[in-house]
A and B are shown apart, each in its own frame.
Chain A
Amino acid sequence: MNSAPGIAFQILQSVFVVLAAPLLTGWVNQCRAWLQNRSAPSILLPYYTLAKLFHKDAVFAHDASPIFRWTPYILFGCMWLAAGIVPVLATGLPFAPAADIIALVGVFALARMFSALAAMDIGTAFGGLGARREMLIGFLAEPAMLMTLFTAAFISGSTQLTSIVDTLAHREFALYPSLAFAAVAFLMVLLAENARIPIDNPTTHLELTMVHEALILEYSARHLALIEWAIAIKLFAYMTIGIALFAPWGIADAGDWSALPYAFAALAGKLALAGAGLALIETVLAKLRLFLAPEFLSTAFLLAVLGMLTHFLVKG
């Protein structure tokens, strides 16, 4: 597995994810603008924003501690690591055994913890508020996410994401009610974890409702750019986890160069669909009150548990 083609695949995938993630964000924004009858911004807008932010001078609060300085790099590193573990283009990558699904959720949790710490570090009211809200959503979303992944793990008999995908992609066709439950639960977790509309509005700076924007309010220039980039990678990683679990067809094996163009095309098609779907969800739903977020996420948890129970009952 640790042959040269495998490592080449790993590097290719990691670089591809980092470079393509802002494109996905741009695509989602474009779709949403179309659906809301606005004239759409360029699909490349996130790249321009990143370039602009990298050229600015960074400003820090006087009493910022090292945690505040390091957090953008830790966030970016966590998301990049996650993107290296998820089988985006190929299964059986040399990096994949580094972490199974539980460790993957742990990587996301590490990123969340540091962003909350950094938000509280400066001591502004908004930072603390955002951090508390983020932790509230995070601790409710995490068990739901784990249960969803466990359902897939039970079906394939492994907690390694790459072998789950291998099993699911190469099985004979079968309807899995348990996976349907898990898919709905995963969608709800994806919306909550990526600060999307029923839980948080990614475009707003409206003080009273913001969760995610409150966390990064104090960042500027290259740090802000890194965080924005990390968020784009996080959305990309979540979407590819979803694709890997619920629609894994067309994924290549590591080292199989001939399958790569097809894997790219399949991934691009699936991501385009998923991005348009996300924009549609964000258009038709209204943002929930914060106090309804626990209800939303407990529903996700419930669906995930139901999926797991259904798997035991009907063996499928």
Chain B
Amino acid sequence: MGIPLLAQLVNVLAAFLLLIAFAMLSQRRVLTLIKLLAWQGAALAASTAIVAWSTGQTHLYYSALLTVLLKVILIPWVLHRLIDRLFVRWDIETLINIPTTMLIGIGLVIFAFALATPISQMATTLTRSTLGIALASVLLSFLMMIVRQKAVPQVIGFLAMENGLFFAATSATYGMPLVVELGVALDVLVGTFIFGIFFFHIRERFDSLDIRHLEKLKED
């Protein structure tokens, strides 16, 4: 095929990311969802490290390390603490049933691939072909945020979307400048904490984490 082995490895990891995005879409349990998020972070870190090694860009090593610390260890741990405190180990309710969601997901993947193919033909990077997968996982996370009714899975969807964007950045342009990555990482961390506080407020106000309650503007 003429593709170097390292690029093939990145392709495999990209496929793994896509697989995890679908697994999240089909998952009914919050705990497993958090585990999947951690796995997604691990795959992301591994692919970033491989890109760093094959291109010799040292700042990508830092960003891989940051990903491991933040997305594999810290954020899943925070989410675990959150759902323990909130007693929300329930099965997730979805707006559309899961097979239909998966079919919509396939549609999104085809859309993303069709969109990314002309862009990646213009790129010159080693891993350009994974841009479509990155775009697809962003769209799939977005779909997950749309079809889930409870607040915690929506936040997990948001974090997964950030993972997808990060992957797009590494695959298309070998990563953003380190300052930007640090800023984004900090934003995500702070965002998770703010969401956590927000969860408690939602629950105190409505006795539930169902975000449909937020649509009511007036007291009954």
Contact = CB atoms under 8 A, between A and B. Distances in A.
Interface of A: 174-175, 177-178, 180-181, 294-295, 298-299, 302-303, 305-306, 309-310, 312-316
The 10 A-B residue pairs whose C-beta atoms are closest, nearest first, are A177-B15, A175-B8, A314-B129, A298-B99, A314-B11, A177-B12, A313-B132, A302-B102, A175-B12, A177-B11
Contacts, number: 67
A314 B19 CA distance: 15
- Interface footprint category on B: 20 to 34
Contact of A298 (B103, B109, B132): B103
Given A177-B15, A313-B117, A306 B9 contact: no
Contact of B106 (A175, A180, A305, A315): A305
B113 interface: yes
Given A295-B26, A302-B102, A306-B22, 4 more contacts: A177-B14, A181-B19, A299-B26, A313-B133
B65 interface: no
Contact of B1 (A303, A309, A315): A315
Nearest to B130: A314
A313 B3 contact: no
Contacts of B99: 294-295, 298
Contacts of B78: none
Given A314-B129, A314-B130, A181 B98 contact: no
A310 B15 contact: yes
A306 B109 contact: yes
Contacts of A305: 106
A46 B68 CA distance: 51
Given A306-B109, A314-B11, A316-B11, A299 B18 contact: no
Contacts of B129: 313-315
B106 A174 contact: no
B113 A309 contact: yes
B96 interface: no
Interface string B1-39: 101010011011011101100100010000000000000
30 contacts: A174-B3, A177-B11, A177-B12, A180-B12, A181-B19, A294-B99, A295-B26, A295-B98, A295-B99, A298-B102, A298-B103, A299-B102, A302-B102, A302-B103, A302-B105, A302-B106, A306-B19, A306-B109, A309-B109, A309-B110, A310-B15, A310-B133, A312-B113, A313-B116, A313-B117, A314-B14, A314-B15, A314-B133, A315-B3, A315-B129
Contacts of B133: 310, 313-314
Contact of A316 (B3, B18, B19, B22): B3
Which secondary structure dominates chain A's binding surface?
A: helix
Residue among A299, A306, A310, A316 with most chain B CB within 10 A: A310
A314 B200 CA distance: 44
Interface of B: 1, 3, 5, 8-9, 11-12, 14-16, 18-19, 22, 26, 98-99, 102-103, 105-106, 109-110, 113, 116-117, 129-130, 132-133
Contacts of A178: 15
Contacts of A303: 19, 22
Nearest to B128: A314
Given A181-B15, A312-B113, A313-B133, A174 B105 contact: no
Contacts of A306: 15, 18-19, 22, 106, 109
A302 B22 contact: yes
B113 A313 contact: yes
A312 B112 CA distance: 13
A180 B113 contact: no
B28 to A, nearest CB: 10
Nearest to B102: A302
Given A298-B99, A298-B102, A180 B15 contact: yes
A316 B98 contact: no
Contacts of A314: 11, 14-15, 129-130, 133
A313 B18 CA distance: 13
